[in-house]
């Protein structure tokens, strides 16, 4: 799917999105269930080790069969059992998350229940709205960056996140802060572009009253982030490093994670994401929902997750039209007064548009769901 504008980060430029979807068709249940999951892996292994063709391979050859062979499976599939069945396979959280999401979507649709209600969001007393932030790619020119940011503020986004890298950081932040004034929430995301020795450079960002600096150091460098947290006043937020509830807990205990970006794909699924929310909340660590340039499938689910009370900061849950001219769902996320509305339809929070889906489908593979 083409992006409406190229999206540049410290790890590369995305101009289109090659998206892997998992559809779970459970025909033996009562009623029959049908669900979709979106795999957030990018085309190249540059954000994390996963990439979309690898995710497809591991799903086809190592993951789906483990659900089909579950001896305790009683005709249908139970989303609560998926992560445990897949646990013997190391890594591949994004592939696993897509599979669990499809099963959970099918199960919730069959039960006539929304994901938001399922995780305890009060959707019975009128629409729930959550604040919407936007992630802004690296721009070659500061003037262009200011034009882009102005446009998003006109759209109503309540929080700006700037992608940064060495050479496009302090000056860009200073110019944006000067333009937007002191009251608009601003944060930055380095996607691992700095090193431990960059502490004093990153401390120059402290002047600009940022909500947080996201993932300055490499994924593995938890101790480095803990040291940086001593050196820099701006709170350190982890993204790439947080691959599970256990790693999140350790990072918090080490002082490396003052704020957590929760991405369901990165942690192996929405159920693990809820566990991370719960543990952060118990420890007083604010969380927010990250994005992976999702279609309306992942975006609707993210909007539901982000309605949990620990999501104290606006997420990267922008309107569908921030990235796509045409979405694959009938109910794309839209912006209304800087907020998005939490979906309450049965399932993970979207309805697939079959025509739009057909138009962008390049290939599909059917795997048996009986051993
Ligand atoms: O680091 O948050 C990130 C997009 C792709 C990969 C990684 C990241 C991002 C974003 C965009 O920042 C978030 C969005 O979907 O709006
Ligand atoms: Mg990030």
**Which class would CATH give 2-112+353-360?**
alpha beta
Q: How far is CA 207 from the centre of its chain?
A: 28
Per-residue pLDDT of 320-371, as tens digits, reads 999 999 999 999 999 999 999 999 999 999 999 999 999 999 999 999 877 6
C-alpha separations of 185 from 160, 163, 295 in Å = 6, 15, 25
Q: Name the closest-CA residue to atom 4, ligand 1.
A: 292
Q: Beta-strand (E) ranges in 156-200? A: 159-163, 186-189
Q: Are 270 and 264 in contact (CB under 8 A)?
A: yes
Q: Closest-lying ligand to the alpha carbon of 216?
A: 2
Q: Is 263 among the catalytic positions?
A: yes
Q: Please, what is the angle between helix 170-180 and helix 142-155, to 10°? A: 40
Q: Are 341 and 127 in contact (CB under 8 A)?
A: yes
Residue 31 has pLDDT above 70, yes or no: no
Q: How far is CA 210 from the centre of its chain?
A: 21
Give the pLDDT of residue 76.
Answer: 74
* Selected catalytic residue, list 163, 172, 299, 322: 163
Q: What whole-number distance in Å separates Cα of residue 76 and Cα of residue 25?
A: 9
Per-residue pLDDT of 208-248, as tens digits, reads 999 999 999 999 999 999 999 999 999 999 999 999 999 99
Q: Is residue 132 in contact with ligand 1, taking CB distance under 6 Å?
A: no
Q: Please, what is the angle between helix 79-86 and helix 270-282, to 10°? A: 90
Per-residue pLDDT of 72-129, as tens digits, reads 887 778 899 999 999 999 999 999 999 999 999 999 999 999 999 999 999 999 999 9
Q: Which residues contact 2 (CB under 8 A, 6 or more apart)?
A: 15, 16, 324, 325
Q: Is residue 292 in contact with ligand 1, taking CB distance under 6 Å?
A: yes
| Distance (Å) from CA 61 to ligand 1 centroid | 28
Q: What whole-number distance in Å separates Cα of residue 196 and Cα of residue 179?
A: 31
Strands 259-262 and 133-136: unpaired
Q: Name the closest-CA residue to atom 14, ligand 1.
A: 291
| Distance (Å) from CA 47 to ligand 1 centroid | 9
C-alpha separations of 356 from 291, 293, 333 in Å = 22, 17, 16
Q: Is residue 293 in contact with ligand 1, taking CB distance under 6 Å?
A: yes
| Distance (Å) from CA 292 to ligand 1 centroid | 5
Per-residue pLDDT of 1-12, as tens digits, reads 999 999 999 999
Q: Are 39 and 53 in contact (CB under 8 A)?
A: no
Per-residue pLDDT of 47-69, as tens digits, reads 999 999 999 999 999 999 999 88
Q: Is residue 216 in contact with ligand 1, taking CB distance under 6 Å?
A: no
Phi, then psi, of 46 in degrees rounded to 5:
-115, -20
Q: What whole-number distance in Å separates Cα of residue 199 and Cα of residue 192?
A: 13
Q: Please, what is the angle between helix 245-253 and helix 270-282, to 10°? A: 20
Give the pLDDT of residue 344.
Answer: 97
Domains in the chain: boundaries: 2-112+353-360, 129-341
Strands 186-189 and 159-163: parallel
Per-residue pLDDT of 162-181, as tens digits, reads 999 999 999 999 999 999 99
Q: What whole-number distance in Å separates Cα of residue 300 and Cα of residue 287?
A: 18
Give the pLDDT of residue 223.
Answer: 98
Model confidence band, residue 30 (pLDDT cutoffs 50, 70, 90): low
Give the pLDDT of residue 364.
Answer: 96
| Distance (Å) from CA 238 to ligand 2 centroid | 8
Mutational test site, ligand 1, from 291, 294, 297, max ligand atoms within 8 Å of CB: 291
Q: Is residue 47 in contact with ligand 1, taking CB distance under 6 Å?
A: yes
Q: Is 161 among the catalytic positions?
A: no
Q: Is residue 135 in contact with ligand 1, taking CB distance under 6 Å?
A: yes
Q: How far is CA 152 from the centre of its chain?
A: 20
Q: Are 280 and 253 in contact (CB under 8 A)?
A: no
| Distance (Å) from CA 28 to ligand 1 centroid | 38
Model confidence band, residue 28 (pLDDT cutoffs 50, 70, 90): low
Give the pLDDT of residue 370.
Answer: 73
Q: What is the 3-state secondary structure (H, E, C) of 36-95?
A: EEEECCCCCCCCCCCCHHHHHHHHHHHHHHHHHCCCCCCCCCCHHHHHHHHCCCCCCHHH
CATH 3.30.70.660: does it fit domain 129-341?
no
Give the pLDDT of residue 77.
Answer: 81
| Distance (Å) from CA 214 to ligand 2 centroid | 6
Q: Name the closest-CA residue to atom 1, ligand 1.
A: 191
Q: Is residue 340 in contact with ligand 1, taking CB distance under 6 Å?
A: no
Q: What whole-number distance in Å separates Cα of residue 346 and Cα of residue 296?
A: 15
The mean pLDDT value for 151-157 works out to 98
Give the pLDDT of residue 29.
Answer: 59
């Amino acid at each position: 799917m083409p992006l409406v504008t190229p999206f540049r980060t410290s790890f590369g430029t995305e101009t289109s999105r090659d998206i892997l979807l998992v559809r779970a068709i459970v025909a033996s249940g009562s009623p029959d269930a049908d669900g979709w999951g979106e795999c957030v892996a990018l085309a190249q292994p540059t954000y994390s080790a996963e990439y979309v063709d690898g995710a497809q391979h591991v799903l086809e050859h190592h993951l789906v069969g483990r659900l089909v062979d579950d001896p305790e499976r009683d005709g249908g599939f139970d989303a609560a059992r998926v992560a445990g069945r897949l646990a013997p396979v190391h890594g591949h959280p994004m592939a696993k998350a897509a599979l669990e999401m499809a099963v959970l979507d099918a199960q919730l649709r069959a039960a006539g229940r929304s994901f938001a209600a399922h995780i305890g969001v009060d959707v019975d007393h009128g629409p729930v709205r959550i604040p919407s932030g936007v992630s802004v790619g690296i721009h070659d020119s500061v003037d262009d960056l200011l034009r882009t940011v102005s446009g998003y503020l006109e759209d109503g986004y309540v929080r700006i996140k700037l992608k940064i890298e060495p050479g496009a950081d302090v000056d860009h932040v200073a110019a944006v802060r000067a333009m937007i004034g002191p009251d608009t929430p601003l944060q930055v995301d380095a996607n691992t572009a700095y090193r431990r020795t960059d502490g004093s450079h990153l401390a120059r960002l402290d002047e600009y009253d940022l909500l947080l600096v996201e993932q300055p150091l490499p994924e593995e460098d938890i101790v480095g982030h803990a040291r940086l947290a001593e050196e820099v006043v701006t709170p350190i937020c982890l993204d790439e490093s947080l691959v599970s509830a256990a790693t999140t807990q350790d990072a918090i205990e080490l002082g490396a994670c003052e704020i957590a970006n929760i991405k369901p794909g990165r942690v192996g699924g929405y159920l693990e994401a809820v566990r991370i929310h719960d543990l952060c909340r118990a420890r007083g660590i604010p969380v927010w929902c990250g994005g992976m340039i999702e279609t309306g499938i992942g975006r609707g689910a993210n909007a539901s997750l982000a309605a949990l009370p620990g999501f104290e900061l606006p997420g990267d849950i922008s309107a569908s039209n921030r990235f796509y001219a045409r979405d694959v769902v009938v109910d794309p996320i839209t912006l209304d007064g800087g907020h998005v509305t939490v979906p309450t339809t049965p399932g993970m929070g979207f309805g697939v548009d079959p025509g739009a889906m057909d138009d962008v489908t390049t290939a599909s593979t059917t795997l048996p769901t009986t051993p």
